[in-house]
Amino acid sequence: MKVYKFGGASIKDAASVKNIATVLKTVGYKNILMVVSAMGKTTNTLERLVQMYFSKQDIDASIAQIAQDHLQITTTLFLSTHSIFEEIDVFFSDIKIFFQRNKSPSYDFVYDQIVSFGELISTKIISEYLRLIGIENEWLDVRDYIKTDVNYRQANVDWQETAKRIGILKKDAFYVTQGFIGSDFNGFTTTLGREGSDYTAAIFAWCLDGESQTIWKDVPGVLNADPRYFSETKLLQQLSYEEAIELAYYGASVIHPKTLQPLQDKSIPLYVRSFLNLKQPGTSVKKGPMLLPMLPCYILKKNQVLLSFSSKDFAFIAEHNISEIFKIFAEFAIKVNLMQSSAISFSVCIEDTFKHLEHFLEKWQNQYRMRISRGVSLYTLRHYDAESMTKISSNKNILLRQLTTDTAQWVVEE
C-alpha cells in the first residue's frame, strides 16, 4: 500500500479540491491511504477561535464565518441537495455544543477538541467530492486508529496500539483520512503538533509496511532553500534520510521533522512532489547518497528569541546550571534551536511556540543577568562554501554565529 498526503495548500479552495481529483486520476488511487490536512489556513482560524473563547470574547460570529468559508467551497462542488451540507452542519453544531458544555480550564485540551474539526470537515468534503465524481473511497475517522497519550497539542503516539488498529485495514482499498489528529484512551481528541499531517502519513506508512509515502506540495520538491525567502532555488533530486532529518530539524518546513524517523526505520521511500506539475519527478528521500546534487542548503527560522544568561557574580556557568535551565525549558515546552557557552555566559536561540517564555524568565531573573533579543532570525547553512557563506552573512547584524564541519548558523537581528 502507498500513503499520500495532501496539505492545506492543496485544498485551499474548490479549484484545488478538483485538482486533487485530477492528480488521483493521473497517478492512480488503487491501494492508497490518503491523509489530508485542514483547508487552507483553517487551523490558524480555529486557533484564534480558541484564544477568543479563553479571553471570553463572543465566538458565535467567528464560528459562523468559518462555516461560511467551508460552505463557499462546498456550494461550488456539490448540488444544494447533497447530504454534505447536513454533514458539515453537524460538525459546526458539535463545535458550538462543545463550547457550551465545556468545563475544562485546560487550554491545550480545549485546543485539541476544537482545532481538530478542520481536518474532520476537510476530509468529509474531499471524500464526498471524490465519490461524487466516481472515485470510490472509504472515509476513516483517524481517531479510531492513531492512539496517543494525553499530552494535548503535542501528543505522543502509542505505537503498539496504533499498529494493532491500523493492521486491520484492508490492503486493497482507497481510504481518505485526517492528518494531525489522534485520540487518547478516554476517546478525547489529541493533536500531534502543528504541521503534523506529514507525520500522520508516516505513522500509517510504518504501520502498513507501506511501499512508499508521497507528500504533494505547491513546490516542485525539496529545494535547496525556501522559495518564499530565497531566490534562485534549486531542486534536490535525492536526499538520504539523515540529510532530510537534518534539514527538517533545522527548519526546512517542507517536511515535518518527525516524519522521517518511522520511514527510515523501515526503509520506506518518501517522495515530495508537486500537485501542480505531475510531469516533474520531485525529490526522493531514501537510502543512498547524502544529497544529489550536492549544493549548499539555506534554511531560515523566523520569530526566534536569543537568550543569554550570565552569572551575576562572575561565577562559572557549569553543568548543574545548564542542566537546571534545560529542565525548565523541557517543562515549558520551549524548543532550543542552538546553544553556545563560555565560562560565565550561556546563550540559546529558542522558539516559544506555546508562549511560556515570560513564566520561564520569571524563574531565573534573580539568579542570572539575562539579555533577551526577541524577533530574531536563525539562518542555517548546510554544506557551505565560501560563496554561500558570504551570501548569507554579509550586510546582516549578526548576534551569534556557530560553525561545525558541515553546518554554519547565524542568529541575526532583522
Binding site for ligand ASP (CB under 6 A): 7-8, 37-38, 43, 118, 179-180, 194-197
SS3 96: helix
Q: Is 157 in the site for ligand ADP (CB under 6 A)?
A: no
At its nearest, how many Å lie between Mg ion and the CB of residue 221?
15
Q: Is 8 in the site for ligand ADP (CB under 6 A)?
A: yes
Bridge-partner residues for 148, per DSSP? 157
Neighbours of 355 (CB within 10 A): 10
CA 372 and chain centroid, separation: 27
Whole-angstrom distance, CA of residue 163 vs CA of residue 145: 8
At its nearest, how many Å lie between ligand ADP and the CB of residue 42?
11
Q: Binding ligand ADP by CB under 6 A: which of 1, 4, 7, 178?
A: 7
412 DSSP 8-state letter: E
With b for 16 or more beta-carbon neighbours within 10 A and e for fewer, the 263-294 pattern comes to: bbeeebbbbbbbbbeeeeebbbbbeeeebeee
Secondary structure E strands in 111-173? 138-139
SS3 378: strand
- Cell for 70? 467551508
**Which of ligand ADP, Mg ion, ligand ASP, none does residue 400 bind to, with CB < 5 to 8 Å depending on kind?**
none
- Cell for 406? 558541515
Q: Binding ligand ADP by CB under 6 A: which of 205, 223, 307, 408?
A: 223
**Which of ligand ASP, Mg ion, ligand ADP, none does residue 39 bind to, with CB < 5 to 8 Å depending on kind?**
none
Residues near Mg ion (CB under 5 A) are 7, 195
At its nearest, how many Å lie between ligand ASP and the CB of residue 46?
9
Q: Is 19 in the site for ligand ADP (CB under 6 A)?
A: no
**Which of Mg ion, ligand ADP, ligand ASP, none does residue 118 bind to, with CB < 5 to 8 Å depending on kind?**
ligand ASP
**Which of ligand ASP, ligand ADP, Mg ion, none does residue 180 bind to, with CB < 5 to 8 Å depending on kind?**
ligand ASP
**Which of ligand ASP, Mg ion, ligand ADP, none does residue 38 bind to, with CB < 5 to 8 Å depending on kind?**
ligand ASP
SS3 368: strand
Question: Which x/- pattern, by CB under 6 A, does the window 225-244 give for ligand ADP?
Answer: xxxx----------------
Between 184 and 195, whose beta carbon lies closer to ligand ADP? 195
Between 111 and 309, whose beta carbon lies closer to ligand ASP? 111
**Which of ligand ASP, Mg ion, ligand ADP, none does residue 237 bind to, with CB < 5 to 8 Å depending on kind?**
none
Look-up of cell digits 543569554: 308
Bridge-partner residues for 36, per DSSP? 6, 178
**Which of ligand ADP, Mg ion, ligand ASP, none does residue 179 bind to, with CB < 5 to 8 Å depending on kind?**
ligand ASP
Q: Is 195 in the site for ligand ADP (CB under 6 A)?
A: yes
User: CB neighbours of 38 closer than 8 A, spacing ≥ 6?
Assistant: 8, 46, 118, 119, 121, 122, 180
Secondary structure E strands in 23-111? 32-36
